[in-house]
Amino acid sequence: MDIVRSFKGYEKVIEIADRQFCRTTRRRLVLIASAAVVLLVTIIAVGVATSSGRPPSPTSVSDSIKAVCSVTPYPSSCFSRISSARGSSVTAEIFKLSLTVAVDAVEKVSTLAASFESPANDKQLAAALRDCKELLDSAIDRLNDSMSLMQSAPGEPLLKASKIDDLRTWLSAAVTDQETCLDGFEVTSDELRGKMEAAMVTSTRYTSNSLAIAAGILGITEKLNFPRHRKLLSPVASTAR
């Protein structure tokens, strides 16, 4: 009898967990869909302004960036960093800017890691620094590959399912590379690990934001076939520094 009660109790726990998961999933879908609707309205407004010879207003650009950033895990840092680059109001261009700021942040962490010196007899620290440098280089490569993937040939759709799948894979790997780098400093001093952890907060947030945009907004805009006419693409800042 006790076994039966335990089994029923276990079923109840699973049922509650399933309901919680469904509620969380629904909330995320509603958030992404709402952001996509805002984007659609904004993009149409930008298109009307562009066709009439008027550049998109700062408000339109700001609204587009807010809509895209709303699906990210760190919307405030996403909006403040991307909006400071004064880029385009088009979803794909905002995504490129998110990649640019992520690359910049990871490169700064890589520079910091390279500045540390390990004593000749500290093989664990030397290994951690070496592995971290390789992992951060890998993360930078994956971010740069993602930016290259956003270039399309004439007549080719800017976004398609295969591209979005690749973006998700590469950006997930870029996040993992950074986390693995930090894990390697478990064997080092608390001070050194603390410095790396503090430096990596920004880079992992920006990379996670790019991943969320690729997994959420880009997928939605592709499935709904939102307008992405070339005339709507305004120049993107070459650097987000």
Nearest to 190 by CA among 136, 125, 137, 130: 125
Q: What is the pTM of this model?
A: 0.69
Can you tell me the distance from the alpha carbon of 97 to that of 210, in angstroms, rounded to the nearest whole number? 9
Per-residue pLDDT of 179-231, as tens digits, reads 999 999 988 888 889 999 999 999 999 999 999 998 887 656 555 554 443 33
CA distance 142 to 53: 37
Q: Which amino acid is at 142?
A: R
- The neighbour count for residue 26, using CB atoms within 10 Å, is 10
CB neighbour list of residue 233: distance below 8 Å, 6 or more residues apart: 88, 90, 92, 93
Give dist(CA 25, CA 9) in Å, integer.
24
Q: Which of the two residues, 135 and 192, has the higher pLDDT score?
A: 135
Looking at residue 167, its pLDDT comes to 92
Convert the pLDDT of each residue in 58-104 to its tens digit. Answer: 566 788 888 888 889 999 999 988 887 665 656 778 889 999 999 99
Give CA separation, 47 vs 23, 184, 230, 236, in Å: 36, 49, 10, 17
Whole-angstrom CA distances from 26 to 17, 208, 215 are 14, 21, 16
Residue ranges and CATH numbers for the domains of the chain are 3-232 (1.20.140.40)
